[in-house]
Every structure is written in C-alpha cells, then in structure tokens.
Amino acid sequence: MDQKQAIWIKDPLAILADGAERGIVVRNGRIAELVPAGREPAIAGAAVYEAAAHVVLPGLINTHHHFYQTLTRALPAALDRELFPWLQALYPVWARLTPDALDLGVTVAMSELLLSGCTTTTDHHYVFPAGLESVVQDEDTILADSERVVARHHQRGEDAMVQIALAPCSPFSATTSLMSATATLAARLDVRLHTHLGETEDENRFCEQIYGCRPLDYLEQCGWLNARTWLAHGIHFNAAEMTRLGRAGTSISHCACSNQLLASGCCPVCDMEEAGVAIGLGVDGSASNDESNLMQEVRAAFLLQRARYGVGRVSHKDALRWATKGSAACIGRPELGEIAVGKMADLALFKLDELRFSGHGDPLAALVLCGAHRADRVMVGGDWIVRDGAIPGLAPLWGRGGEGGKTMVPVVHPPP
C-alpha cells in the first residue's frame, strides 16, 4: 500500500469519541492517533484539515437495503398497504427489472447513502428476472462499476472489497433444503448469512401452519441460528427467543422507517440488547422507506425507541451507536464503526449551519434531534469521497446540473 501523508482533522466542534477533543490523525487509511484536549499530535508533519465547523462521526453503516427499490418509490399501487399486499403490488414491477435499471438503482442508492454519511452498506438482492440470471456471479462487477461512478475509482487498497453474504429473501420463499444447504455452504466458505425474519405476525401464523413451529425454531432447524447470521427486522420475537438469539450471537438489523410505513410493528431494541443481541440499523428498501438516508434512519430509530422505552432508556448516543458499532457487529467488520486507534478511517463530518440547527446546544444531540440530513464531508479509508456536500464528478449528473436545471432520475414504470 502506498504511504499517504497523515491528516490531522483538527479541533472539531464535537466528535463521537472519548479523548479526541482536538481531533484525530489519519494515516494510510486508518486512525493513527486521538488528540486529547490541550495536546498536539505526536505524529509529526500531518496536513491539517480545520474541522472547527464540523461534528465528526464514525462512518455510518447500513445493514439492510435493497438497492433496486430506489426505482419504485411512492408507487401508487403500493401505497397504504401492509407487507404482503405491498409485495403483491410491487413484484409485477420488479419482474421487469433490467441490468441497466439495476445499475441505475445501485448508483442512486449508493450516492444517497454516501451523502447521508454512510461509508459501508449492504445490498440484499433477491430479484432475478430475465436478463439478471447471473447477477450474483457478476456482483463484483456490478458493484465495482457503481463504485467507480460514485467514488471516481476510489479504492481502500488492501481493505477494498465486496463482501459476499448468502441471503435468501426469507425462509418462507425458499425450500427447506435450500435454506439448510445455504447454511452449510456459509460455514464451509466462512461467509455470513442474512435474511428477513420476525417482520410480521402473518409470518408467525404461516410458519406455525406450514412447519408446526415458530419462525426462529424453523431457522434453527435449518442451521441458521449462529454468530454468522444477522436478521432484518426482528419485531415479533418473544422473550425466550431473544435470549436464544443472544446466546447464539445472531444480530438484528432494525429498520425503523420501513417498519412504521408498513405498520409491521416496533423492534424491541432495548430488550434485545439486554438479552445480548447486537443491534444495527438499516434503511431497508426505498420502496418501503422511500429514501436511502441513513442519518435520517438514526433519527427515526431514536424517536421510535424513545417512544417505546422512555427517556431513561434511549438517548441520541444509543441511536448513533446502533448505526456505527452495532452495525459493524452485524456484518462482522470489527475494524469499522468506531473512532479509535487502528480502526478504518471512515468518517462522516456534518456542519450545523442550516436553519434546522439554529439555537442548538449539544452538537452531537443536534444531529439526531434536529434532523441532520446531508454530510458535508465523508472520508472512506482515509480519502475524501464527499466534499462540500457533493460527490465530485457525480453532482452534475444527479444534482441540479444540465440545461434548464433538470435532474436525471431513473424511473421504472409499472406494466400496463
């Protein structure tokens, strides 16, 4: 790896780290030093980035998404429906997905996530209409192409990679033999497992009728209840099941916006954590969330869980922890999600100069309570990927560029 000049991100307005009041030093893609109050960096010769106007967070991590769904937001036929009728309205549209449309959807999703301060994301892709039969085989190419569009050929060097997880859509849309074989393959290849589970009460009833057991029992029978698995939603587990999840090391992606929009219920996050379950955040698909903004998801999760558990059990720092360290645990990436020496230099810097922040007191709390929406700067692996609230090279295509100030937005129309 080429040696890069160290960068001192100096004197931030606030930072989500202890002992870093004067900022941090980044070198060769990693956090090399925390600079405490009243001190100068021990590392000499670092270039200085003045961060006095910025609140610095670890890069946010998105643990559940469906990139292609950015093409079907607020679809009239799917409005005001619960999960299963919502799916019935959308599957005929998704059946017309093409490789070009998928490429556009990936680019939109990744761009929106980056601009919200997200530096690592997952994509749960499970739609394979004609023309997309080899999309999993070509996943590296598809994501690498979109990264070139989003990040202008940015790479993390040795740490740059597409991490593959085996992820059937749900245990109930795949055969038992496939679910079991997937778990066996994941163990042999040492990769992670992901699926939807515990999203609706309908799922519980279906599983009891067809398999004679609850969804978590069925998942365990298929060999999935272990530490390589993280599950999307986790709303309808009982206390005993939460204990089993904690003992197994299985983690949960909390998708607050999607759960509210589809009226699926509320994930019992605090009870889960007390049972030893790691909690991350996911924006879920943009057809149920209608956005891919992870900073907004932090606020939604905070408000939803504060309403459930009260002011004494949920703080803004809990919500930020779920989107960073908790999410890193979900995807098995301990080098991410925290501002500490040796961790990856993935950072999101927000300014508080918008009208929404006027009168704020605590800067970290203001990000969540006042509704931060767009990062000013985003660093991935020590490189600035978002500058001045834009992705260099992408803004003319997706922002206000072009004649007449038009915005280019891909749309997939429903079949006649």
Q: Where residue 21 sits, what CATH number does that domain have? A: 2.30.40.10
3-state secondary structure of 324: helix
305 and 387 belong to one structural domain:
no
52-63: average pLDDT: 98
Distance in angstroms (rounded) separating the CA atoms of residues 401 and 328: 35
100 and 53 belong to one structural domain:
no
233 and 284 belong to one structural domain:
yes
26 and 105 belong to one structural domain:
no
Which domain CATH number covers 262? 3.20.20.140
What is the predicted pLDDT for the residue at 155? 33
Positive or negative: CA dihedral 393, 397, 398, 404: positive
171 and 151 belong to one structural domain:
yes
Task: Examine residue 103 and state whether it is found in any structural domain, yes or no.
Answer: yes
Which residue blocks in 190-267 are alpha helix, DSSP H? 201-211, 215-221, 239-248, 256-261
Question: Which one of 285, 307, 330 terminates a domain?
Answer: 330
Task: Examine residue 413 and state whether it is found in any structural domain, yes or no.
Answer: no
Q: What is the DSSP string of 147-169?
A: HHHHHTT---GGG--PPPEE--S
238 and 355 belong to one structural domain:
no
Task: Examine residue 2 and state whether it is found in any structural domain, yes or no.
Answer: no
Distance in angstroms (rounded) separating the CA atoms of residues 103 and 370: 34
How many structural domains does the chain have? 2
Distance in angstroms (rounded) separating the CA atoms of residues 271 and 107: 36
Half-sphere exposure at residue 115, Cβ-oriented, CA atoms within 13 angstroms: 21
Residue whose tokens read 């790896």: 1
| Residue 120: φ, ψ to 5° | -140, 135
Residue 4: CB partners within 8 Å, gap ≥ 6? 27, 28, 29, 382
214 and 344 belong to one structural domain:
no
What is the predicted pLDDT for the residue at 131? 80
Eight-class DSSP state of 414:
P
286 and 240 belong to one structural domain:
yes
12-23: average pLDDT: 98
41 and 177 belong to one structural domain:
no
3-state secondary structure of 131: coil
160-213 pLDDT, tens digit each: 578 889 999 999 889 999 999 999 999 999 999 999 999 999 999 999 999 999
393 and 147 Cβ atoms separated by less than 8 Å:
no
What is the predicted pLDDT for the residue at 103? 87
What is the predicted pLDDT for the residue at 324? 98
Question: Which one of 284, 302, 330 terminates a domain?
Answer: 330
Which residue blocks in 262-414 are alpha helix, DSSP H? 269-274, 294-309, 316-321, 327-330, 363-369, 395-398
Task: Examine residue 415 and state whether it is found in any structural domain, yes or no.
Answer: no
Q: Quick one: which of 226, 192, 220, 191 has its CA closest to 207? A: 220
Residue 181 host element (H or E): helix 176-189
3-state secondary structure of 240: helix
314-339 pLDDT, tens digit each: 999 999 999 999 999 999 999 999 99
Q: Quick one: which of 20, 54, 58 has its CA closest to 338? A: 58
Q: How confident is the model at residue 135 (pLDDT cuts 50, 70, 90)?
A: low
245-275 pLDDT, tens digit each: 999 999 999 999 999 999 999 999 999 999 9
Positive or negative: CA dihedral 181, 187, 188, 194: positive
Radius of gyration of the chain (CA): 21
> Is it the case that residue 411 has pLDDT exceeding 80?
no
Task: Examine residue 408 and state whether it is found in any structural domain, yes or no.
Answer: no
Q: How far is CA 321 from the centre of its chain?
A: 13
What is the predicted pLDDT for the residue at 279? 98
> Is it the case that residue 231 has pLDDT exceeding 70?
yes
378-410 pLDDT, tens digit each: 999 999 999 999 998 774 444 433 333 333 343
72-119 pLDDT, tens digit each: 999 999 999 999 999 999 999 999 999 889 988 989 999 999 999 999
131 and 178 belong to one structural domain:
yes
Distance in angstroms (rounded) separating the CA atoms of residues 3 and 110: 28
Distance in angstroms (rounded) separating the CA atoms of residues 35 and 27: 14
Q: Which domain holds residue 350?
A: 7-58+338-398
40 and 71 belong to one structural domain:
no
Q: Quick one: which of 349, 341, 317 has its CA closest to 58? A: 349
Q: Quick one: which of 95, 63, 96, 89 has its CA closest to 74? A: 89
350-358: average pLDDT: 97
> Is it the case that residue 233 has pLDDT exceeding 90?
yes
In this structure, the number of other CB atoms found within 10 A of the CB of residue 51 comes to 24
Q: How confident is the model at residue 4 (pLDDT cuts 50, 70, 90)?
A: confident
Question: Which one of 280, 309, 330 terminates a domain?
Answer: 330
> Is it the case that residue 278 has pLDDT exceeding 90?
yes
Distance in angstroms (rounded) separating the CA atoms of residues 172 and 292: 26
260 and 270 belong to one structural domain:
yes
Task: Examine residue 37 and state whether it is found in any structural domain, yes or no.
Answer: yes
What is the predicted pLDDT for the residue at 66? 95
Residue whose tokens read 């999840």: 245
